[in-house]
Amino acid sequence: MNYTARDHAFIYGVLAQELLAAAPGSEDVLKQCIEVYGLQRGSRMGQTADAFGDARTMQTYLAYGEWAPAPGEMYIEIPEESPSAVWNVKKCPWSQEWAEQGMLDVGKFYCKYVDRELVHGFHSALELGVGTTQTNGDAFCYFKWNGADMTPEHKEENAAIGRKVGSVRLKTWAYHMGHIYKTMGEVIEKQLDAEVRARVYQKADERIAVRYGETLVELLHAALVLDYWVTPSLKAAQRLGELF
């Protein structure tokens, strides 16, 4: 099955809602779940940049994302490109999914923290400017990519990175869903306990199975063996079957 960003949004939303139901007042734990998840993704992006010989700057950050929007999936206005690029994201599959599924209560946490920590994971000295968010009822999500001076020359440099790297930087949505599923469980167990984690997973798995069937639940459980701090893009992943 070809999953999308909206499926990723649903998996996060279910886990987040079940966490807050199982442990009322655990908003700080949810925040930590998102922060660790963001740091892991950003770290993988940085590892890929290192492998291709590119410095970890805000400009190159924009070239090493691990997913790409499908046609029509997002709409971004760019009112400023210099000295730092500014994006106004007016259409977003995450906010759409959360609005339709009644998950804006937890979606607002994700939007507040994830992109900031993605940038920190790429390079700890980089700071993303985050402002309005659609999950808080605003018209668009505001991002200021501090230090990304997107002159025509720098745009061409990023385009050249795209041609050089190709699809190596990209991960499937199944991978991203497995990532959020595992990381949230790990943080919940560390900050609360294994019993809370088990209750959250049980309730979340039931809701996931209703929408997608048991096949996706089994896939998410299989994904628990992966190390999401390390990018598999540059590994001989096709040989893993020889180990089992």
| pLDDT tens-digit readout, 89-107 | 999 999 999 999 999 999 9
Per-residue confidence band for 1, with pLDDT thresholds at 50, 70 and 90:
confident
Task: Tell me the C-alpha distance between 113 and 20, whole Å.
Answer: 17
Contact 135, 103 (CB under 8 A): no
| Sign (positive or negative) of CA dihedral 205, 118, 90, 106 | positive
**What is the percent of the chain where pLDDT is above 70?**
97
| pLDDT > 80? residue 236 | no
User: Residue 79 belongs to what H/E stretch?
Assistant: strand 75-80
What letter would DSSP give residue 139?
A: S
The confidence score (pLDDT) of residue 234 equals 78
The confidence score (pLDDT) of residue 125 equals 98
Tokens of 135: 């999950």
Tokens of 94: 């995450």
Contact 206, 198 (CB under 8 A): no
| pLDDT > 70? residue 237 | no
Task: Tell me the C-alpha distance between 123 and 39, whole Å.
Answer: 10
Per-residue confidence band for 232, with pLDDT thresholds at 50, 70 and 90:
confident
Residue range 192-215: mean pLDDT, rounded: 98
| pLDDT tens-digit readout, 154-168 | 999 999 999 999 999
Tokens 């306990």 correspond to what residue? 193
Residue range 204-224: mean pLDDT, rounded: 97
Question: 149 — alpha (psi -120 to 50), left (phi > 0) or beta?
Answer: beta
| pLDDT > 90? residue 139 | yes
What letter would DSSP give residue 226?
A: S
The confidence score (pLDDT) of residue 241 equals 67
Residue range 3-18: mean pLDDT, rounded: 98
Enumerate the β-bridge partners of residue 175: none
What radius of gyration, in Å, describes the C-alpha atoms of the chain? 18
The confidence score (pLDDT) of residue 213 equals 97
Average pLDDT, the chain: 95
| pLDDT > 80? residue 235 | no
Count of CB atoms within 10 A of residue 230's CB? Answer: 13
Nearest to 184 by CA among 132, 218, 223, 153: 223
